[in-house]
Every structure is written in C-alpha cells, then in structure tokens.
C-alpha cells in the first residue's frame, strides 16, 4: 500500500496512479475546481499524465461561498 494525504487526511492507495483515476478512487467533493499535488496546481488536461505516489499531498479545492 502507498501512503498519501488527501485534503489533510492520511489515505492509502494500492499503487501509484494518475490524478484522474485517484479522483474516482477516493472520496472527493463533487464540484471541485482544482487539484494540487504537493502545493502545485495541476491543469485538468494533465490529470491522466500526473502520477500520485508515496508521500504525495493532494488537495482537492472547491469554491466556498460566504457573505
């Protein structure tokens, strides 16, 4: 198993995987706007080619409204 962090929570995945697959594997907000891996924003078109591996920190960013 591989240890990563998703939105601040320790998470285990069975192998390194591209971001698009990771988003289908772990629980993420449905209307997310962006994904960061190790504090770098990853453009959506690069999700299939950016691999998340052991020790990576993934943040799924959503829009938060307020007033």
Q: Is the confidence at residue 67, as pLDDT, over 90?
A: no
CATH number, position 12 = 3.10.20.30
**Is 52 inside any structural domain?**
yes
> Cα angle vertex 44, ends 3, 56, to 5°?
15
Q: Is the confidence at residue 15, as pLDDT, over 90?
A: yes
Give me the chain's average pLDDT, please: 91
For 31-55, the pLDDT digits (tens) are 778 999 999 999 999 999 999 999 9
State the sign of the Cα–Cα–Cα–Cα dihedral 61, 50, 14, 38: negative
* pTM for this predicted structure: 0.86
Identify whether the C-beta of residue 29 lies closer than 8 Å to the C-beta of residue 23: no
Identify whether the C-beta of residue 63 lies closer than 8 Å to the C-beta of residue 33: yes
pLDDT confidence bin for 66, thresholds 50/70/90: low
Number of domains in the chain: 1
**Is 67 inside any structural domain?**
no
Identify whether the C-beta of residue 35 lies closer than 8 Å to the C-beta of residue 47: yes
**Is 20 inside any structural domain?**
yes
Q: Is the confidence at residue 57, as pLDDT, over 80?
A: yes
Q: Show the domain range for 11.
A: 2-62
**Is 55 inside any structural domain?**
yes
């Amino acid at each position: 198993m591989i240890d990563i962090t998703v939105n601040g929570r320790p998470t285990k995945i069975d192998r390194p995987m591209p971001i698009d697959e990771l988003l289908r594997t772990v629980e993420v907000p449905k209307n997310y706007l962006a994904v960061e891996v190790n504090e770098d924003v990853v453009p959506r078109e690069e999700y299939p080619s950016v691999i998340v591996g052991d020790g990576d920190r993934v943040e799924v960013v959503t829009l938060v409204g307020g007033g």
